[in-house]
Amino acid sequence: MKIKGLEAWVEKLGKTEMPVLANVVQELNELTGDDDTEINQLAEVVLRDANLTSQVLRIANSVMYNPSSFPINTVSRAIVLIGFGGVRAICISVMIIDSLLGKQPRERLLKQMAFGFHSAVQARTLVGKTNDSSREEVFIAGLLYHLSELAFWSSGGVLADELEERLQAADPNEQGSVAEQVLGCSFKSITRALAVNWKLGETLEQSLYPAKSPSPKVSAVCLGEEITQATRYGWDSSEMEAVLQRVSKFTGQGYREVRQRAEAAAEEAAAVALAFGAPQVCHLIPGRRRLEQSDSELQQPEPLQPNPDLQLSVLRDLSNALLEHLDVNAVFQMVLEGLHRGIGLERVVLGFVQGGRVSAKFVLGQGTEKWRDKFNFSVARTEENIFTEAIRKQQPQWYGADYMEQHKRRCNPEIRQVVGCYPAFVAGIFLGKRCIALFYADRCQSGGALGEDQFQSFRHFMIQTEMSLRLISERRVR
């Protein structure tokens, strides 16, 4: 039976797909909207979830919220320094990302989330720096402007497949009406109903259907959305020029300054998405250079260089994983960045091992965006490939050019089609005798050149990763 109509979709998305998220968001909103709320009350809500706690502290210590770099080690201190609105924005953003980005999210979901981050940062920039609570309020409104679409594409199912097929065949200007035909109502109406039910704030509700004379906060959200939509046509398009003229009138700033701030905000949005634990959407955020350079125009990228200081910093953070109450995903994301930016490994993937297969969970590097769906290989005991060998030997492996040439069967056509056949580092991550994950890393842009120093650094990261995960596991048992 097909779901159709506003009430049916609000029921499904709000109570079936995201019930826990709905309850916590409502509680957070009630607390942060109450002048009598004490710090410990909000901290108590956050501390109920260990993953949410670690994420809040990690983001609170980012440059965006803590430019002084003085460590924030408790949720209570984070609330004092960042404010109720700031912590609320972090919590809601993190919970939405965690609940919607499943194991293998659709490309349309990733694109919509990327646009959400872009719109949110643009809106926050337009509000200015005079009112922190307003800035966080418009950030959330911008991020959740397409909440129902995010939830719909995350839930998947037959209707999602049907709509995907029809949208691909439809004219871009008619996609809204196509979606309404399939759902029986508009995405915007579903988002507004969810915003009302979840008490996400008047700014979001009013931004979806703005009045003739909207408040400055609503105007900022709407203009942030318009900027993001205009990037579909290019930063120098007539559509973008028209939007920026309206932004100039809204802010009282000159056109050139408005354009510079909008372009800077687009680049900032990628950093914000990374800080909030959504690295897989960063490359989809429509920054000026990312949109306007075609593949034929792109220059050969400079080889990624090792950064010893970053290596040490990540290793130090990993060694403090237990003290800082990091969760498993935070550890893996940290290691991924250490391998990529610290050691200089251009393409890195972490795959989870389950049911005799390894499938991508986190990826970094140019050209890896498709690995999320395609990096899925058998690691059954009967298989003979580079992954099963690394698992069998239980040690990090360096597969050089000579090895790849002599053992072509271990880099079979299925693997070659996804990652190619470059010299690579591969290592299994073990808890006890069980391999729970695999790291794969190479340097395709550098012709595959790998060095002994890089391999030793890779080994060190793998050892530290297993130690951190073991400590986290033991903490959970206690």
Q: Are residues 324 and 429 in the same domain?
A: yes
Q: How far is CA 447 from CA 61, 303, 385, 424, 444, in A?
A: 37, 10, 22, 11, 5
256 within some domain: yes
Residues 262 and 235 in one domain: yes
Verify that 366 and 220 share a domain, yes or no: no
Length of the chain: 478
Spatial contact of 198 and 140, defined as CB atoms under 8 Å apart: no
Q: Which two structure tokens, joined as six digits, stand for 281?
A: 């959407």
CATH number, domain containing residue 125: 1.10.3210.10
Q: Are residues 316 and 271 in the same domain?
A: no
Q: Is residue 341 part of a domain?
A: yes
The answer to whether residues 285 and 411 belong to one domain is no
pLDDT per residue, tens digit, the chain (478 aa), is 566 788 888 888 776 666 666 676 777 766 666 555 566 677 777 877 777 888 888 888 887 777 776 778 778 888 888 887 788 888 888 887 887 776 578 888 899 999 999 999 999 999 875 455 688 889 989 999 999 898 888 876 788 888 888 888 877 778 888 888 888 889 999 999 988 888 788 899 999 999 989 999 999 999 999 999 999 888 988 999 999 999 999 999 999 999 999 999 988 888 888 888 888 888 888 776 544 444 334 344 456 788 888 888 788 878 876 666 667 877 888 888 889 888 999 899 999 999 999 999 888 887 787 888 899 999 998 999 999 999 999 999 999 888 888 888 898 889 989 998 889 999 999 988 899 999 999 988 665 688 899 999 999 999 999 988 888 887 765 5
pLDDT at position 130 is 46
Single out the residue in 263, 292, 321 at which a domain terminates. 292
- The verdict on pTM exceeding 0.95 is no
How is residue 263 written in tokens? 């372009």
| Strand runs labelled E in 213-323 | none
Reduce the DSSP state of residue 439 to 3 states and report it. Answer: strand
DSSP β-bridge partners for residue 198:
none
Whether residues 196 and 322 share a domain: the answer is no
Residues 320 and 429 both lie in one domain: yes
Same domain, 201 and 233: yes
Statement to judge: residues 137 and 268 lie in one domain:
yes
CA distance 140 to 172: 27
Burial 169-194 (b: 16+ CB within 10 A, else e): eeeeeeeeeebeebbebbbbbbbbbb
Residues 335 and 465 in one domain: yes
CA 402 to chain centre: 37
Are 151 and 257 spatial neighbours (Cβ–Cβ below 8 Å)? no
Q: Strand, coil or helix: what is 375? A: coil
Strand (E) positions, 400-470? 424-431, 434-442
In a domain, 244, yes or no: yes
Rounded distance, CA 343 to CA 336, Å?
Answer: 10
CA distance 314 to 338: 6
SS3 270: helix
pLDDT value for 425: 96
**Are the beta carbons of 65 and 86 closer than 8 angstroms?**
yes
Confidence at residue 31, expressed as pLDDT on a 0 to 100 scale? 67
Query: What is the CATH number for 454?
Result: 3.30.450.40
> For 328, phi and psi rounded to 5 degrees?
-60, -45
Residue 298 placed within a domain: no
Structure tokens at 63: 């440059």
In this structure, the strands spanning 347-354 and 357-364 are: antiparallel
Residue 138 lies in a domain: yes
325: left (phi over 0), alpha (psi -120 to 50) or beta: left
Asked if residue 399 and residue 331 are part of one domain, the reply reads yes
**CA terminus-to-terminus distance, the chain:** 46
- Give me the pLDDT at residue 288, please: 61
d(CA 34, CA 43): 14
Identify the pLDDT of residue 296: 38
Sheet with 347-354, edge to edge strand ranges: 376-378, 357-364, 347-354, 434-442, 424-431, 397-399
Q: Let me know if residue 300 belongs to a domain.
A: no
Phi-psi region of 234 (alpha: psi -120 to 50; beta: other; left: phi over 0): left
Last residue of a domain, one of 292, 321, 354: 292
Q: Is 447 helix (H, G, I), strand (E, B) or coil?
A: coil
For residue 299, being part of any structural domain is answered with no
Same domain, 58 and 196: yes
Question: How many independent structural domains does the chain possess?
Answer: 2
Pairwise CA distance, residues 358 & 369, whole Å: 17
Range of the domain at 465: 308-477
| Of 229, 260, 292, the domain-final residue | 292
